[in-house]
Structure 1
């Protein structure tokens, strides 16, 4: 009587499944382990763009001046206390943006959103301004948020 010897080892399907799982874990886990903040930079860029759009819409909807201060790691919005006021004194805390991720920064700007929708360089509203807020990750540009003062468009 011949006795069948049990085969030892892994099947091809088992080997492929292990390789796929290792690949998925490497794709997800390695960037987190090495401290890549690309997701944080993308999120902060989206929040900055959203804050600028909200400032423009708030200025038009409430017919008041909205002052925006874009700093290195935060966007602060303030609104004039009454229509026609020349300065901003009411903080719009719920609309701003901030990041705590290391290496993520934005270029500094001070913008004034007028009640008619224009973006200006002063509270008086005489000179429209156009430009871009640049989001950097470790000194490299990751996102450019363009604003057009004559139309109030933020992209």
Structure 2
């Protein structure tokens, strides 16, 4: 007869303490090296949003001059919307100007806080000037601030974007 062995009391499920410590150490080391890389990725996204915003403003000015129509620009954290007037002269913009992707929002924001000072809609006149009202009575100068980026300046008299 073969002798019977008593059942093993050692459990075969779960992890041992050295295995858990090894995983914690490895995760910590990866986090130390991965976090700075993620910060730079978010910085590139903010730079891309800044570039899209500048392109939208320049496109609005060019479209106003080329079509000899009023173009209205609305800037928010979520995106930039452009609209064009149906005729000239006009006191409001009625038709959306579609963006490069065919959507009514010209550019979509990165979620980074974006603010326009002074707040409100920017009106590009058929002459290329940027004004604070649709009638074109007074030009303005705007600062567009994006968190972590250099501010964008829009000069009303010329419509130049810096």
Q: TM-score, normalised by structure 1?
A: 0.72
Q: Aligned partners of 1:59, 1:71: CA distance in 2, in Å?
A: 21
8 Å CA contact 1:121–1:128 kept in 2: the answer is: yes
1:47 aligns to what? 52
Runs of 4+ in 1 over 3 A off after TM superposition: 28-36
1:99 aligns to what? 109
The RMSD of aligned alpha carbons is 2.3
Q: Aligned partners of 1:144, 1:64: CA distance in 2, in Å?
A: 28
Give unmatched runs, 5+ long, in structure 2: 1-30, 101-105
Mapped pair 1:111 → 2:133: no
Greater gyration radius: 2
Give unmatched runs, 5+ long, in structure 1: 1-25
Mapped pair 1:131 → 2:142: yes
8 Å CA contact 2:77–2:109 kept in 1: the answer is: no
Per-residue deviation, 1:145 = 0.9
Per-residue deviation, 1:152 = 1.0
Which residues in structure 2 correspond to 1:1-155 (within 5 Å)? 30-33=35-38, 37-94=42-99, 96-101=106-111, 104-108=112-116, 109-136=120-147, 141-155=148-162
Q: TM-score, normalised by structure 2?
A: 0.69
Per-residue deviation, 1:62 = 0.2
